[in-house]
Amino acid sequence: MKASNDETTLFGDDDGSPRELNWSYTTDEIARWNQIWPQAVSMAWTDDGFKKALIEDARGALERRLGYTFPAEITLEVKDATGFVGTTSSGEKATAGYQPTDDGAGIGHWLVPATNVTLWLPPAPEDMDLQAVALAAYGTRGHIYPFTCCI
């Protein structure tokens, strides 16, 4: 791969074909996502057509209805938790949803299925003498890899 000074890197699609992506994902864009997702949830609660579109093509639905372009380098899948029954941390069976406080006066809590995160373990560099350099390069891209050193 040819090194460059810009923020464009080549990665492969699921089928292994290369594609060019822009990795300059900023904290402003992360903050915008924190506003967009609650809007999408609210719309899905009141608009069955949007809910269906969000489940079938989340990226397209967000772009069409909210003008938000989800980062191409992150796979997005939205699932409906309606009717989902799981086990709470205390071992009790419960249905996903908002749980108000017993007295109705306080802020309740949510029971939702766990969010899945898939992290790709990158292959080691062919020349192991470059391991430290390769790890440093990986770390500088941390803002696009969950739970790495930089945001």
pLDDT tens-digit map of 86-131: 888 788 898 999 888 877 777 888 888 888 877 777 788 889 898 8
60 inside domain: no
93 inside domain: yes
Which whole-number Å values give the CA distances from 85 to 44, 88, 96, 124, in the listed order?
20, 10, 6, 41
50 inside domain: no
Residue 71: how many CB atoms within 10 A of its CB? 17
Q: Is there a single domain that holds both residue 102 and residue 131?
A: no
27-53: pLDDT as tens digits: 777 788 889 999 999 999 999 999 999
pLDDT of residue 144: 52
Q: Is there a single domain that holds both residue 131 and residue 151?
A: yes
The domain total for the chain is: 2
Q: Is there a single domain that holds both residue 129 and residue 146?
A: yes
147 inside domain: yes
Q: Is there a single domain that holds both residue 147 and residue 124?
A: yes
Q: Is there a single domain that holds both residue 134 and residue 147?
A: yes
pTM over 0.75: no
Q: Is there a single domain that holds both residue 124 and residue 138?
A: yes
106 inside domain: yes
74 inside domain: no
Q: Is there a single domain that holds both residue 110 and residue 132?
A: no
Range of the domain at 128: 117-151
Q: Is there a single domain that holds both residue 108 and residue 126?
A: no
